[in-house]
Structures are given as structure tokens and as C-alpha cells.
Amino acid sequence: MTFTASQIAAMINGRIEGNPDAAVGNFGKIEEAREGQLSFLANPKYEEYLYETRASIIIVNEALELKKTVAATLIRVKDAYSAFATLLGKYQEIAQQQLKGIQEPAYISKTAHYGADIFIGAFAYLGENVKVGDHTKIHPQAYIGDNVSIGDHTIVHAGVRILHSCVIGSHVTIHAGTVIGSDGFGFAPQADGTFAKVPQIGNVVIEDHVEIGANATIDRATIGSTIIRSGAKLDNLIQIAHNVEIGNSTVVAAQAGISGSTKVGKGVMIGGQVGIVGHLHIGDGARINAQSGVSKNIEPGKAVTGSPAYDYTSALRSQALNRRLPDLEKRMKELEDELTRLKK
Amino acid sequence: MTFTASQIAAMINGRIEGNPDAAVGNFGKIEEAREGQLSFLANPKYEEYLYETRASIIIVNEALELKKTVAATLIRVKDAYSAFATLLGKYQEIAQQQLKGIQEPAYISKTAHYGADIFIGAFAYLGENVKVGDHTKIHPQAYIGDNVSIGDHTIVHAGVRILHSCVIGSHVTIHAGTVIGSDGFGFAPQADGTFAKVPQIGNVVIEDHVEIGANATIDRATIGSTIIRSGAKLDNLIQIAHNVEIGNSTVVAAQAGISGSTKVGKGVMIGGQVGIVGHLHIGDGARINAQSGVSKNIEPGKAVTGSPAYDYTSALRSQALNRRLPDLEKRMKELEDELTRLKK
Amino acid sequence: MTFTASQIAAMINGRIEGNPDAAVGNFGKIEEAREGQLSFLANPKYEEYLYETRASIIIVNEALELKKTVAATLIRVKDAYSAFATLLGKYQEIAQQQLKGIQEPAYISKTAHYGADIFIGAFAYLGENVKVGDHTKIHPQAYIGDNVSIGDHTIVHAGVRILHSCVIGSHVTIHAGTVIGSDGFGFAPQADGTFAKVPQIGNVVIEDHVEIGANATIDRATIGSTIIRSGAKLDNLIQIAHNVEIGNSTVVAAQAGISGSTKVGKGVMIGGQVGIVGHLHIGDGARINAQSGVSKNIEPGKAVTGSPAYDYTSALRSQALNRRLPDLEKRMKELEDELTRLKK
């Protein structure tokens, strides 16, 4: 796909300086861009590149004053970065929509149903009674188990496994290798020291506009559902245990893990490699710093850090003092000596 | 599959109150259950739902005294929860046993052997000299490398990769996306600052009744075997390095990692996101708290926490004092001032 | 494949004691080896096994003096261990080279190109304009997205996913289940509390002689490239975020995570479960201890530990004192009492 300066200016409602017929086929950073590429300048500290870049079209801020002549065609907008992001979004949408049809061989059970404008990649598996909505793309080697339903405009990347009876909403993106609906980790200790499996017969429900990273795992509920609410964003390699609930627009960074039955509120920010024990309530808007170990409920809006995690500001002070412990002990020693002298 | 109240009462040896022919096809929480579903009441705090639920059959405790009339058919047993769990177990066993035959296309080498009542899903791969026992289920897109042997009644879920020469026991369950037999992480530093790979030619041995979660990794030994002993339970996203041994009925929670050649005893409990360095011995029955960093051997039965990890009780006291460091320093300052005054 | 003592002696330039025609088909630890196996003795503490082992051939050090007669054929070399490692390397190289051809069914787009002596396993997927070099092995169920290029002598294990437009070098090994080129985790907060996806249109570039473990994730850049430099070694389950750069011969242990745009220098050692925040510079030769949480730049050659991480030696002293906090507080209490007495 190639676009001309005038087409692009129309899409982002910008003003052209230079050749309106200049054409680009893809994107590049201003410091690396080659001919036929589109770039942008948002951060003034990169302005020098504006005069050297080989990019054919550059999106710049309305306000920018040129210090030299520029070879490329410029498109001026209010906010160059967000205009550029908008463009990329449209570009990817078009690309996804071009993906259509069914590649051979795919395994599609006779009882599976799918809507219009879908894509099913080679070696993908659709089990019994699977339902796939319109404009949804199931990439190669994905596994959709029996009785799974998936909404519209959802993207299931290569090698994703969605196990039986899970429910996936619309406008959801699940990245490669992620497993949804694996058994929860439930074992009942027996008298002889062994463990008996507690059957996990619930499912996972993922609401609309959720995005889940690569090689993550979300376990099905023991009974009922593990739920990821609308708009939540989960990063790579995260672990969500059975019967957990993640609230609307909550963000979970890479390699974080949330234990069984914990309920996380709305708009919570969970840092990378955070661990949260089971059966807790994390209030709306709480912020949990990277690598924290959460073992208690968190009030709405509270920020915590550390392992075990507690109030962010006090924790930082303790961490600072902790580094000064050698000094603290030295002062202690001095006091003790002084006292001994005094007592003589 | 649907079951009547009398069939279920027979399975869990319970007493029916209501219609013995009431039939159910699946399960639900008492607060959510719909008609045609089976539910249970174990926790008195949910009793109110007993009188509202639309569930067709409910398992309740022998002792329960009804406050109002109940629409559903009741089955009374000594312990409603464990009776319910027993039922689920039988239900899933039946479901698994119904899974039989070979879906097309699957890749099965001419030298692969498999027993009776097996299932091999579409796009599954069985390499040279693979041996699969009776009643074992290889789900779609699983990879079984050359010379792998798998016992009876084992479940290999979708997209699991078992690499060449590994040995898997009977009644083992391996969840989706897990990799068994990847190369251990062994590199010899060279004079020029680069690394030479140390070939990893051992294998992984997984004994009977082991369960391994989703997207986990278990590396093959450099020479010899990485061993997971009978009855051990490993959660999602755990990492087991080369030449590690995990003892009988040891439990490893999600995202924990165990480094090369460490031997973990029997009945050990390892919390989520724990890290254990290489070449250690973890004694039988030891307990390692979540997120601990273990850098020393642990005595049998000992509990540890923290990073670096040490004795649980003392570590908790230090953690508590650590939070009070700002206060401690304040007291120190006061002492110093007092002394200065005294000396005048 | 079987080899005779004289063939092996020739490969590692060793001197035979015993039967030059003794033959072996594989390898074993000296304490476990069976007939027909090759073993080695490097560590004197295992010498006793030399006189008991059933191995057919044993590689020993030039200097070794026998205390009893040995049944097996010996091959004497300067350094038994490295000679053994060299052999294993050659053995595996031969084995890999024997892997050739294309298994059916595989999905290979009409526009995909591949070189000589390649292997493409069953259910592997090669998208549009994929380029694969000579002697490269694409194992079963691997996914190679559109416009990906892969060099020579590279091994892509079962179920690896390399997404569109990524560039993989020569002599690279990627272990099973790893995802390369998943979207970076980029979302712009909106006025209404939801998040808008920032399109990720860069790629991942992996240079020559890199090895990446199993079930790891490496995200594509927002714009430009996420880069893993020549000779870097990454372990299982690691997370590399968008626009990160990893320097030459840097080693990253299992379950470590590196956040967006952080640049890691050459020859850096990153321990297991380490977390590094975004936009940092980690100097050449820096050493980061396992489970550290890095929130600041690190100078070249510096060693750090802890979460938050700081200077290794001071951190260890603080950790030690931290354990003695209860004692420190006791001393403080005593001082306070003494002072009160003194003031009377």
C-alpha cells in the first residue's frame, strides 16, 4: 500500500508544504528513514535530522519554524506525534481487514460457526460448537476448544490456545502463544502426603477491548468464571489464577502474577513482576510498584511498593534508611562508647 | 451427558429429597445456577441462595435444617463440598475417556507406537520411535519428539512440546504450551569474551501422577536426567533448569524458577515467583514463601522468606522493624542530642 | 550412529589404552553409564566409578594414574572434560545436519524462498516473502510470519513464532515456544480512563550466534527495531520489551524482564528474575544479581543487587545488618534506659 502526501494530509487534516504527490509505502524514525518512507518530528531535540533525513514525507507541528530548507514534503498538524499514531492505527486496521478467508489445511468441526470477513489460518483448530463473530481473525496454529465463543473484530494470534467453554468478547487482541482456560492450580492434601486434584470446571470470560500479551496464562475458574473486564491491558508472561477478576481498564505489566480469587478493581496499575497473594481486594485506581509482593488488601487509590508491599512513601524512606544501616550502626556504637566514658 | 438425581445420589451415596428424576447436564455456583444445572451448598453464609436458586439439583449437608421450602431437588450427604468435588472428578474422567481416535491431519512417524483408547488431535506430531501408552490423550498441535515415551492415562494438552528422548510417566497431566526437554542454559566463556555452547544431551524424566501447568519450561540435563518425582505439582510459567530434581509430592507455585543441579526434597512447598540458585539442597518438607530468593541450602522442615531468604520468624521481625527504621533513626538523633546536652 | 575408540581418538587427538575397536552409540555419566556408552572422568572425586562403570569407552586426563585395572577402553587427552564437550558438539552438529527436507503437510507461501540443506517440519508455516538461508532447520509447528528473513545454520525449534518483518541472523538457536515480534505494550491513556493502543510497527532484529531459550517473549519496536546483538545468550521465559537493545555476548538468565527502550551494553551478566525499568543504560560488563530490581543506570563493570538495586558490597552489608535489626533495636532501648538513669 502506498499513499500520497495529499491522501495523508486529508486523513489527519494537515497542511502540505512541498510536493502533494510525494508517495510513501511505510514508516521510519526520522534519524533512520529512507526514501519512500513517512516519518514525523515531535521532539525538538531531533530537529537536526529534519534537514538530513531521506524520508519522503514528514509530519511536523504547526508551530515549527524551519532553520534550513527541507528536501522532504512536510505535512503540518497541531500535534505531530498523535497525528502519526492515528495514521499507524488506520494503516494496521486496513492491513488486518485485508486478511480474509481460510487457509488449508485448517481443522474446523462441523458444528463450528463463523461470521463474515473472518480469517482462519493454516493449522488452526476450531472445536465443536465454536462460535466466531464477524471480522475476527484466527491466525495460523491457534487452538479454539469446544464450546468457545469469540466476538467480532477480535484478533487471535498464532499459536494462542483458548480452551473449552471460554468466552472472548469483541475488539479483543490476544498475542502469540498465550493460553486461556488452563486448569486452575487446585489440589487437596491427602492423609498420605499426596495431593488429589480439585477438578476445575469453570471458564474464563474476557470482555471487549481487552489486550493480552504473548505467552501469558489465564486459568479457568474452579466453578464460575475467571473474568477480565472491558478495556483491561495485560502484558507478556503474566499469570492470572483461577477465579481472579481484573477490573475495567486495569493495566498489568509483564511477568506479574495474581493468585486465586483475588479481585482487582478498575483503573489499577500493576507493575512488572508484581506478585499478589490469593483472596485479596485491590481497590480501584490503586498503584502497585514493580516487583512488589502484595499480601494485604489495598485501599482505592493507594500506592504501594516493596515485598512485602506497603505505603509507597514510607516504603521509600525505609529503603533509603536501609542503605544507611551501616552508618546507623556506627552511630549506635559511638553512643555506647560515649556513655561508658560518661559513666566513669 | 445428563444425569438424574437418583443416578447422582447413587454415585455419592446420598439421600434424595424431591424428584428422583430431576435431570442435570452441567454445574453452576448456587448464586448463579440455572435450570438443568447441579449445584451444592457447603458454606452456611450462602444458604439464602438455596431458596432462590434455579438449579435443578442441589447437594447439601446431612445436618442442614431448611428455613423455607426449596424448589430444587436436594441430595443430602455428610460433606456436600467433597461429594461435589468427587462428582466433578468422575464427570471429567468420563469426558476425557470419551475422547478417542485420531483426528486428521496428524503427523505420526511409521516407527511410532501407541496403545488402546488413545486420542491424537489434529496437527499433533509424533516423531520416530515414540511410544504412547493406553488411554493417553495427545491434544491438537502437541509435539512429541523422537524417542519420547509416554505412559498410560496421561493427558498432553494442546501445543505442549516434549522434545526428543524425554520420558513421561502414567497419570501425568501437562497443560497447554509447556515445553519439556529444551536445552539447558550452559555456555563456556571463551578467551575473547564470547561463549561456546555446552551441548545438552541428557533428557527429562517425569514420573507418575505429576501435573505441570501451562507455558512452563523444564530443561533437559547436560548429561543424565532432570527429574520430576511422582506426585509433584508444578504451576504455570515455572522454570526448571538442567539437572534439577524435584521430590515426591512437592508443590511449586506459578512463576517460580529453580536453577541448575539443585535438588529439592519431598513434600516441599515453593511459593509463587520464588527463585532458587543452583547446586543447592532443599530438605524434605521445607516451606519457601512467595518471592523468596534462596541462595543457601534449607534444612528439612524449615520455613524461609525474603530475598535473600532466611528463617521465616526472624525475617518477619526484621521486615517489621524495617518499616520502623524512620522511627529508629529519630530515636537515635534524640539520644545524640541528649548526650551532647549532658556533656555540657 | 556408532563410533569406535580409534575414530573418537582421532577426533579429539587422544591416545588409546585398550581395544581400539570398542564401539559406542551414545553418552552417559560415569556413575550411570551402560555398555555401548561413552563417558569421561574429569573430577578426581568420581575416580572410584572408573573401576566399576560398565561404559565401553572413557575419556580420561593424560595425567591420571590408575589404582586398579579398568575394564573399559580409555582415551587419554590433556583435558578430559573439554575433549568430551567437543565430541558432544560434533555429535549434535552431525545429528542436526542429518535433518533435511520438508515434511508434509507444511504451509509454504508461493513467495517464500529457502536455501540448500534446509529442514521444514510438519505443520510449520512460512508466510509471504519469507527468506530462509542454507542449512537452516525450521522444526514442526513453527510459525514464520510475512517478510521475515532468517540466515544460515539457524535452528528454529518446534512451535516458535517469529512474527512479520523480523530479521534473524545466522547460527542462531531459538528454543520451543518462544515468541519474537509480538506487539510492544504501548497504550495512550484517554480522558475517559480507557487506553488507546499505540500501534507497534517496528520489528525485532536478532544478530548472529544468539541463543534464546524456551517460551520467551521479545516484543517488536514501536518504530525502528528491538535488537539482540551478536553472541547474546537469553534463557527461558525472559521478557524483552519494545525498543530494547541487548549488547554483544550479554547473558540474561531465566525469567528476567527488561522494560521498554532500555539499552544493555556488551558482556553484561543479568541474573534470574531480574527486572529492569525502561529507558535506562546498563554499562558494558555490568553484573546484576538474581532478583534485583534495577531503577537507575548502571556504570560499566559495576555489580549491583537488591530491589531497588545498588552497589553489591554495600547492599550485602545492609542486608546483613537488616537481619540484625532486632538486636540493633534492643541496644537502642538499653541506651535510652541508661540515659534516663544518668539524668536522675
A122 lies within 8 A of chain C by CB:
yes
pLDDT of residue C91: 83
pLDDT of residue B81: 87
Q: Is B71 buried (19+), middle (13-18) or exposed (0-12) by CB count in 10 A?
A: middle
Distance from CA of A193 to the nearest CA of C (A): 30
Nearest CA in chain B to C93: B199
* Residue B61 sits in the same domain as residue B115: no
Q: Is residue B340 part of a domain?
A: no
Residue C97 in this model has a pLDDT that exceeds 90: no
Q: How many domains does chain A have?
A: 2
Q: Is residue B54 part of a domain?
A: yes
Catalytic annotation, pick one of C113, C139, C242, C281: C242
Q: Which of A88, A177, A251 sits opposite C201 (nearest CB)?
A: A88
Query: Residues 194..223 of C with a Cβ closer than 8 Å to B: which?
Result: 209, 211, 213-215
Q: Is residue C341 part of a domain?
A: no
Q: Is residue B37 part of a domain?
A: yes
Q: pTM of the entire structure? A: 0.92
Query: Residues 160..199 of B with a Cβ closer than 8 Å to C: which?
Result: 161, 163, 177-179, 182-183, 185, 187-188, 193-195, 197-199
Residue A265 in this model has a pLDDT that exceeds 90: yes
Band of the pLDDT at B32, cuts 50, 70, 90? confident
pLDDT of residue C82: 85
* Residue C11 sits in the same domain as residue C26: yes
pLDDT of residue C28: 85
- Domain's final residue, options B50, B79, B97: B97
Nearest CA in chain B to A273: B273
Residue C165 in this model has a pLDDT that exceeds 90: yes
Band of the pLDDT at A296, cuts 50, 70, 90? very high
C275 lies within 8 A of chain A by CB:
yes
Residues of chain C contacting residue B216, judged by C-beta atoms under 8 Å apart: 215
Band of the pLDDT at C173, cuts 50, 70, 90? very high
Q: What pLDDT, in 10s, does the model give residues B73-87? A: 999 999 998 898 888
Residues of chain B contacting residue A217, judged by C-beta atoms under 8 Å apart: 177, 213-215, 236-237, 254
Q: What pLDDT, in 10s, does the model give residues C266-291? A: 999 999 999 999 999 999 999 999 99
* Residue C88 sits in the same domain as residue C115: no
B129 lies within 8 A of chain C by CB:
no
What cell does A250 get?
Answer: 486495569
Which residues, in sequence order, are CB contacts of B330 under 8 Å at separation 6+? none
Q: What is the 3-state secondary structure (H, E, C) of B131-175?
A: EECCCCEECCCCEECCCCEECCCCEECCCCEECCCCEECCCCEEC
CB atoms within 10 A of CB A302: 16
Distance CA C132, CA C154 (A): 9
Q: Which of B201, B259, B318 sits opposite C27 (nearest CB)?
A: B201
- Domain's final residue, options A97, A117, A136: A97
Q: Is residue B282 part of a domain?
A: yes
Per-position DSSP letters for A99-118, written without gaps between them: --EE-SS-EE-TT-EE-TT-
- Domain's final residue, options B97, B124, B152: B97
Band of the pLDDT at A338, cuts 50, 70, 90? confident
Residue C58 in this model has a pLDDT that exceeds 80: yes
Calculate the alpha carbon distances from C11 to C73, C80, C101 in Å.
Answer: 16, 13, 28
Calculate the alpha carbon distances from A292 to A257, A275, B38 in Å.
Answer: 11, 6, 40
* Residue C91 sits in the same domain as residue C126: no
* Residue C42 sits in the same domain as residue C138: no
- Give the HSE-up count for residue C128: Cα atoms under 13 Å, Cβ half-sphere: 1
Q: What pLDDT, in 10s, does the model give residues B121-136? A: 999 999 999 999 999 9
Distance CA C184, CA C124 (A): 25
Q: Is residue C335 part of a domain?
A: no
pLDDT of residue A97: 84
pLDDT of residue B117: 96
A212's enclosing H/E stretch is: strand A211-212
Band of the pLDDT at B237, cuts 50, 70, 90? very high
Best A123, A239, A340 residue to mutate vs chain B (most B CBs within 10 Å): A239
C322's enclosing H/E stretch is: helix C312-323
Q: In this structure, which amino acid lies at residue B293?
A: G
Distance from CA of A28 to the nearest CA of C (A): 7
CB atoms within 10 A of CB A147: 17
Residues of chain C contacting residue B197, judged by C-beta atoms under 8 Å apart: 89, 173, 211
Residues of chain B contacting residue C336, judged by C-beta atoms under 8 Å apart: 331, 335
Rg of chain B, C-alpha, whole Å: 27
Question: CB A257 to CB B273 under 8 A?
Answer: yes
Catalytically active residues of B are 242
Catalytically active residues of A are 242
* Residue C107 sits in the same domain as residue C75: no
pLDDT of residue B53: 93
Range of the domain at A61: 3-97
* Residue C59 sits in the same domain as residue C31: yes
Helices marked H in chain A — which ranges?
5-12, 47-50, 80-98, 312-323, 325-343
Query: Residues 72..111 of B with a Cβ closer than 8 Å to C: which?
Result: 105, 107
Residues of chain A contacting residue B140, judged by C-beta atoms under 8 Å apart: 107, 125, 143
Least confident span in A14-18, A242-246, A333-337, C294-298: A333-337
* Residue A53 sits in the same domain as residue A130: no
Band of the pLDDT at C157, cuts 50, 70, 90? very high
Residue A111 in this model has a pLDDT that exceeds 90: yes
Q: What pLDDT, in 10s, does the model give residues C115-149? A: 999 999 999 999 999 999 999 999 999 999 999 99
* Residue A87 sits in the same domain as residue A115: no
Q: What is the mean pLDDT of chain A?
A: 95
* Residue B220 sits in the same domain as residue B85: no
Question: Residue B234's domain is classified under what CATH number?
Answer: 2.160.10.10
- Give all chains having 3 or more CB-to-CB distances under 8 Å with chain C: A, B
pLDDT of residue A248: 98
Q: Is residue A135 part of a domain?
A: yes
The whole-number average pLDDT for the span A198-216 is: 95
Distance from CA of C125 to the nearest CA of A (A): 8
Q: Which of A267, A273, A329 sits opposite C321 (nearest CB)?
A: A329
Least confident span in B316-330, C47-61, C160-174: B316-330
- Give the HSE-up count for residue C161: Cα atoms under 13 Å, Cβ half-sphere: 28
Question: Residue C7's domain is classified under what CATH number?
Answer: 3.40.1390.10
pLDDT of residue A274: 98
* Residue B189 sits in the same domain as residue B272: yes
Question: CB B291 to CB A307 under 8 A?
Answer: yes
Residue A95 in this model has a pLDDT that exceeds 90: no
Q: What pLDDT, in 10s, does the model give residues A223-262? A: 889 999 999 999 999 999 999 999 999 999 999 999 999 9
* Residue A111 sits in the same domain as residue A256: yes
Q: What is the largest CA-CA distance in chain B?
A: 97
3-class SS shares of chain B: helix, strand, coil, % to 5: 20, 30, 50
A279 lies within 8 A of chain B by CB:
no
Distance CA A256, CA C260 (A): 16
Question: CB B310 to CB C323 under 8 A?
Answer: yes
Question: CB A233 to CB C185 under 8 A?
Answer: yes
Band of the pLDDT at A148, cuts 50, 70, 90? very high
What are the phi and psi torsion angles at A226 (to 5°)? -85, 130
Nearest Cα to A124, choosing from A139, A109, A145? A139
pLDDT of residue A92: 82
The whole-number average pLDDT for the span A279-294 is: 98
Q: How far apart are the first and last CA of chain C?
A: 91
Q: Determine the 3-state secondary structure of C67 from DSSP.
A: coil
Q: How far apart are the first and last CA of chain A?
A: 91
Per-position DSSP letters for A118-142, written without gaps between them: -EE-TT-EE-TT-EE-TT-EE-TT-
Q: Is residue B8 part of a domain?
A: yes
- Is the ipTM of this structure higher than 0.85? yes
